[in-house]
A and B are shown apart, each in its own frame.
Chain A
Amino acid sequence: MFFRNILYEIRLNIRTKEVLIWMVLFPILLGVFYKFAFGNLGKEMKAIPVAVVENTEDKMFHMMYKKVDESTGGMLDAVYCPEEEAYEKLYKGEVAGIIIIDPVDGAAPATSDDTAVMAKIFGADWDKRTDFSDISEMLKNRPLSSGTDWPSVMETMKETYLGETKISLKIRKNGSEQSTLKNYIESFVGMKKMARDLWDSSSEGEGNNAIEDIDQIMSGSPITSVPLTKGNRDPFAMYMYNLIAMVSIFGTLAAMHISINSQANLSSIGMRRSCSGTPKSMIILPGLIGTCITHSGCVLISITFLKFVLGVDFGDKLPLVYLTGICGAVMGVSLGFFVGSIGRLSEGAKTGIMMAVNMSLCFLSGLMIDSIRAMIAMKMPMINSLNPVAVICDALYYLNMDADLSRYLWKLLSMGVFTLVFIVLGILMTRRQKYASL
């Protein structure tokens, strides 16, 4: 009879179309929404669009820009334009800021009057050259004709490449893009100052290797980047973990009927069952097992859809992702059984309340806005430990990010404890009920 009851429960669940819609269609729909809305989130960092207004010539700016652009993989997307157009772009939100290069106070705008001298050394296209290594090589290899005034050439080069300018930044609002932009410009200015100092220092000596020195110091990076994990670092993955957690916790909706249908004061089936000779354990346990089986099936379908249709990267431990889904489903069912046994509200009212509670737990876990989870983790980490949805998310997160399984197993254990507590409380609240009249 025990196994027959399980079979009946499974049939009953499969025939309840509304529950199946919640458990299968709704998550699939939500997964598609996610994919559309956040699919590109964190995939690549956009270059910061910036307008550059050159009220005076600054060759060093171009050279630095090129160098920084190469080293950062194109972090800035500069558009050179007149001031009026730049402001228009800023007001329209097309650029994050405007870099204005002005002559220093009291000075006239710099012009390329030294073309003859520079062309003699670097060729006709000298003003197109914006690479330190290139200029350094040319300076080294091009023999100067006799009678060339070397200090004068150096002075001309200094003024051409390192002439002083005043750089300012205009933005429309505060933000990380704007701060990054400001940081870049400060870096430009710092590097230019450094280059001038180095130039002066090198020119004083006998070797005229200033540009070569600048290039040598500027080449390479003293910073090594080390990856913290081999897992999927895409923030979009967290939304998918939340989705799986949500499907799992929706087991509450599927399981509420188990306790309601076993209590005589809540349903007519409960009245009939209370009158019958069948022990409650033979009703409740098969109900729980049957619902766990059907709900786990729904969770597995959702995970399969996310993985193989939407192409979500769950790392290389897919069987454990499925296991987590099943454990979450069992926890959700046990929570539903517990909630169903509380109070005397109708199933409809309990479903409504449970829906609101479920969605709130999902919200706190980051289903809608992922930063909520971070905020709670920072200010009240205990809430994340007590939130069943967050526990499932944590398990999936640890599975993806950690090299070992220790933290994942702890979360699995937490789910086990939650399940046990909910079932024990549910049984305590449904057992040995007596009714004066029905």
Chain B
Amino acid sequence: MQVFKLFFKVARSKLGIAILYTVIFFAICFPMVNASEQKVNFEDTSLSLYIQDEDQTEASRALVSALAEKHRVTEEPMDQQKLMDAMYYSTIDYSLVIKKGYAENLGSVSGNALQNDLLEEFHLRDSYAASMMNVYLNEYIRNTRVAVAMGDDLMTAVRKSSERTVIDAEIVQDPKDEVYDKNFTPKFAWFFRLLMYIMVAVIMSMLGPILLSLNREDQRKRIECSPLKTSAYVTQVFLGSAVLVAVIWLIFVAGGAALYGGMYTGTNSWMAVLNSLIFALFVTMLTIFISTFKPSSTVMSMIAQALGLGMAFLCGGFVPQTMLGEGVRTVAQVLPGFWYERANDILCRDQMGTMSDVWICFAVQGGFILLFLILTIVMSSRHPTAKSRKS
């Protein structure tokens, strides 16, 4: 087991980078992932509102109170730049100015008064939040005016408008949906989504340099001179790679379990774990394949980053696949990362699909593993070994 021991001797020197990546990954995942169960009841979206009340009347305060019942309201004065930043970073979803003369105009229900602006809103870009607020405010003001038109005094009208009819929204599940599992939430699925990039980065930056060291011309020649059989050498390298990747994968899976709050529960969580194992095997195979070209460690590092980031961007490693354009999704199908993320998205119900679709995703990834195994064998049998033997 000389080669196997050598493998881990080299691995020890690459431990620092792997630890760094892992620690940073978990530090990032921690605030992002929450393993709470899927909500089975409807939960209305509560927005962050910034309100500037220039009118300061009873009617304007009533509007602020009505909004504060459902949303988070901030009234601390903010300059335009601060407000813009807050809206850009989405810490404020909607900004509203209740204009001077609001109460007076609200009580007027005839002629030109109806055309006067009562409110001013700022939003950076079109969003459901902005649309939702505009609909609510329009309805509030119209209802108040109707009540005034029907003879109510302004404050009675305002009170009536605040009493909005609430419609029940019921969450329904497909009784035939075999994939739905409340234990594997879309929020926790972020862990497995990001895992794709981090596995490529960690496995390639750790395993790659080890294989490059073993494949170094002088090292290789020394091994070839030794009485060690080629098959034993290859077996030990494969075994070393397998053990190393298994340890890396286990660390991530265990870390995931810690974020999950204990042992994974439900079929979908375990399917996601299996998905990550298959992808880890693919990355291992890919790294072994690339190392047969004997690139420098910098090039290997670059390939790791380009592949990791490229696959993550194109295959939905940083955003759910449903957010990607149709064209991107079509192109990305040639990448195994796409199938990894698709399986993950189906399991957390971010994307529709059946368990058979998940198994298809696994099979496609398995196909990629096989492809790179064959390519590695082909490349190894043609590569400088023959040349070095002649020399």
Report which A residues bind B (CB closer than 8 A). 18-19, 21-22, 26, 29-30, 33-34, 36-42, 44-45, 48, 68, 71-72, 75, 87, 90-93, 97, 167-187, 189-191, 193-194, 197-198, 201, 213, 216-218, 220-229, 233-235, 348-349, 351-353, 355-357, 359-360, 363-364, 368-369, 371-375, 377-379, 397, 401-402, 407
C-alpha spacing A39/B325, complex, angstroms: 8
User: Which 5 residue pairs of A and B lie closest in terms of their CB atoms, listed nearest first?
Assistant: A374-B89, A179-B45, A91-B174, A33-B313, A18-B298
Q: B295-317 toward A: CB 8 Å interface, digit per residue (1/0)?
A: 01111011001100110111000
Complex Cα–Cα for A36 and B123 (A): 27
Q: Which residues of B contact A19 (CB under 8 A)?
A: 298
Which chain A residues lie closer than 8 Å to B384 at the CB level?
none
Q: Taking CB as reference atom, which chain A residue is nearest B143?
A: A194
A186→B45 contact, CB < 8 A: no
Q: Which residues of A contact B323 (CB under 8 A)?
A: 41
> Known contacts A174-B45, A360-B20; can you find 18 more A-B pairs with CB under 8 A?
A26-B302, A29-B310, A33-B314, A37-B314, A91-B177, A171-B172, A179-B128, A180-B45, A180-B131, A182-B42, A201-B151, A217-B142, A228-B87, A349-B17, A356-B17, A356-B201, A359-B201, A368-B197
State whether A357 touches B20 (Cβ < 8 A).
yes
10 A-B interface contacts by CB (under 8 A): A168-B167, A170-B170, A171-B171, A216-B114, A222-B138, A226-B122, A348-B298, A352-B209, A355-B17, A355-B305
> Which of the 9-residue segments B78-86, B225-233, B245-253 touches chain A?
B78-86
**B164 in contact (CB, < 8 A):** yes
The residues of A that contact B146 with a CB separation of less than 8 Å are 194, 197-198, 217
In the bound complex, how far is the Cα of B129 from the Cα of A48, in angstroms? 13
Given contacts A93-B352, A223-B117, A226-B120, contact A186 B165 (CB under 8 A): yes
Query: Are A378 and B91 interface neighbours, CB within 8 A?
Result: yes
Which of chain B's residues have a CB closer than 8 A to the CB of A229?
Answer: 84, 124
* CB–CB B44/A224 < 8 A: no
Q: Restricting to B245-269, which residues have a CB under 8 Å from any CB of A?
A: none
| Whole-angstrom distance between the Cβ of A410 and the nearest chain B Cβ | 12
Q: Is the CB of A223 within 8 A of B165?
A: no
The reply to whether the CB of B115 lies closer than 8 angstroms to some CB of chain A is: yes
Question: In the assembled complex, which residues on chain A have CB atoms less than 8 Å from the CB atom of B14?
Answer: 352
Q: Are the C-beta atoms of B325 and A351 separated by less than 8 Å?
A: no
Known: A30-B309, A171-B172. A217 touches B167 (CB 8 A): no
Q: Shortest Cβ distance from A277 into chain B, in angstroms?
A: 33
> Is B287 interfacial (CB 8 A cutoff)?
no
Q: How far is the CB of A26 from chain B (nearest CB, A)?
A: 6
User: Whole-angstrom distance between the alpha carbons of A184 and B242 in the complex?
Assistant: 55
Contacts A223-B117, A224-B119 known; A169 to B149 CB distance under 8 Å? no
Q: Cβ of A92 and Cβ of B299 under 8 Å apart?
A: no
- A190→B139 contact, CB < 8 A: yes
By a CB distance below 8 angstroms, the chain B residues around A374 are 89-91
Q: Which of B109, B116, B167 contacts A167 (CB 8 A)?
A: B167
Q: How far, in whole Å, are A178 and B118 apart by their CA atoms in the complex?
A: 28
Of listed A92, A190, A225, A227, residue having the most chain B CB within 10 A: A190
Contact between A223 and B120 (Cβ–Cβ < 8 Å)? Answer: yes
Once the chains bind, are A176 and B129 in contact (CB under 8 Å)? yes
Chain B residue at minimum C-beta to C-beta distance from A100: B170
User: In the complex the two chains form, is A217's CB within 8 Å of B145's CB?
Assistant: yes
B134 interfacial by beta-carbon distance below 8 Å: yes
Within 8 A of A (CB), among B309-346: 309-310, 312-314, 318-319, 323-325, 327-328, 331
Contact across chains for B302 and A18 when beta carbons are under 8 A apart: yes
On chain B, the residues within 8 Å of A234 by CB distance are 125
B363 contacts partner chain A, Cβ-Cβ < 8 Å: no
Known: A186-B167, A349-B16. A170 touches B197 (CB 8 A): no
A233 touches B24 (CB 8 A): no
Chain A residues closer than 8 Å to B217, beta-carbon distance: none
Closest to A39 in B: B325
Hey, which chain A residues are within 8 Å of B359, CB to CB? none
User: In the complex, are the beta carbons of A172 and B136 less than 8 A apart?
Assistant: no
Residues of the B chain whose Cβ atoms lie less than 8 Å from the Cβ of A44? 126
B349 lies within 8 A of chain A by Cβ: yes
Quick check: A174 and B43 within 8 Å, CB to CB?
yes
- B121–A226 touching, CB < 8 Å: yes
Q: Which of B39, B117, B132, B310 is in CB contact (< 8 Å) with A183?
A: B132
B314 near A172 with CB under 8 A, answer no
- Whether the Cβ atoms of B85 and A217 lie closer than 8 Å is no
Evaluate contact between B90 and A371: CB separation under 8 angstroms: yes
CA distance in complex: A198, B151 (Å): 11
Q: In the complex, what residues of B have CB within 8 A of residue A375's CB?
A: 31
For the complex, what is the distance from the CA of A44 to the CA of B125, rounded to whole Å?
9
A183 to B165, CA, bound (A): 10
B168 within 8 A of A: yes
- At the interface, yes or no: B370 with Cβ under 8 Å from chain A? no
Contact B131 A72 (CB under 8 A): yes
**Residue B173 is within 8 A (CB to CB) of chain A in the complex:** yes
The answer to whether B139 touches A187, judged by C-beta atoms less than 8 angstroms apart, is yes
B128 touches A355 (CB 8 A): no
Contacts of B39 in A (CB 8 A): 173-174
In the complex, which residues of chain B have a beta carbon less than 8 angstroms from the beta carbon of A397?
88
The answer to whether B81 touches A407 (Cβ under 8 A) is: yes
Nearest-neighbor residue (CB-CB) of A253 within chain B: B298
* Cα–Cα, bound, A357→B109 (Å): 63
Which single member of A36, A45, A68, A190 contacts B127 (CB below 8 Å)? A45
Given contacts A26-B305, A184-B135, contact A36 B119 (CB under 8 A): no
**CA A402 – CA B151 in complex, angstroms?**
48
Chain B contacts for A368, CB-based, 8 A? 197, 309, 312, 318
Q: Which of A68, A191, A355 contacts B301 (CB 8 A)?
A: A355
Q: Flag whether B386 is at the interface (Cβ < 8 A).
A: no
Expressed in whole angstroms, the minimum distance between the Cβ of A247 and any Cβ of chain B is 13
- Those of B27-86 within 8 Å (CB) of chain A: 28, 31, 38-39, 42-45, 80-81, 83-85
Closest residue of chain A to B186 (Cβ to Cβ) is: A173
